[in-house]
Structure formats: structure tokens, C-alpha cells
Amino acid sequence: MARGLAHPDFTLDLHGASLDAAHSRLLHGLSQAKAMGARLVLLITGKPRPVEPGERGQRRGAIRAKVIDWLSASEHALDIAAIRGAHRRHGGPGALYIVLKRRR
């Protein structure tokens, strides 16, 4: 994943959605990914939009700020093995990898 060689099994794009729509899409999308047997999900949250020039690269967008909380409080929490920042090839700071546990 660190070198961008991993190929996501499923891509979920939340960028540009309202918080309510993004939350709903996230939960539904993870259900779909699990049903398909996906192991690596590329979650596109969108890059942060800094307000002040001095804050560039430090502020996170609203969806990005909420995603970890949404995942930890969801019915999918026990199915997630790891959450990592995406490689530049897959969106860099505007995306995350969600690694799902193997099915038994």
C-alpha cells in the first residue's frame, strides 16, 4: 500500500456529498464491499479546503474529519482490520484505504 502497488477491490467516493449523504453512502458502500468479498476499499473523502493560506495542508475537510468516528460507531467496525492513508496515485491526502478482515 505504501508504494501504491495495491489495487483496491472497491472504490467509494464521498467527496462532494453532504455530511448526511456521505454517512449513508459510507455505510451502504461498506455493506456492498463486504457482500462482494472486497478486502481493500478505497475511500475518497476529498481534500481539505483551507481557509487561511497559513493553514494549508493542516486542516481536514468535514467528511474526512467524521469518517473515523462514523466507522468506529458503525456495524462495520468489527470487520475493519486497518485504516491507512492512500498513496498519491489513489488520491493521497484526499483518500483512505480501509482494509477489511478476511471472511471465515
CA distance 4 to 6: 6
**Residue in the block written with cell 464521498:** 14
- Backbone φ/ψ region at 86: left (φ over 0), alpha (ψ -120 to 50), beta: beta
Residue 54 C-alpha cell reads as 497559513
- The answer, as to whether pTM is greater than 0.85, is no
Domains of the chain plus CATH, in order, are 10-46+60-100 (3.30.1370.110)
pLDDT of residue 26: 97
pLDDT of residue 38: 95
Cα of first residue to Cα of last residue in the chain, in angstroms, is: 24
- How deeply is 62 buried, as exposed, middle or buried, from its count of CB atoms within 10 A (0-12, 13-18, 19+)? middle
In the chain (104 residues long), the average pLDDT of successive 10-residue segments reads 74 91 96 95 82 52 89 96 92 92 80
Contact 100, 34 (CB under 8 A): yes
Q: How open is the CA angle 29-35-37, to the nearest 5 degrees?
A: 105
Q: Strand pairing partners for 12?
A: 43
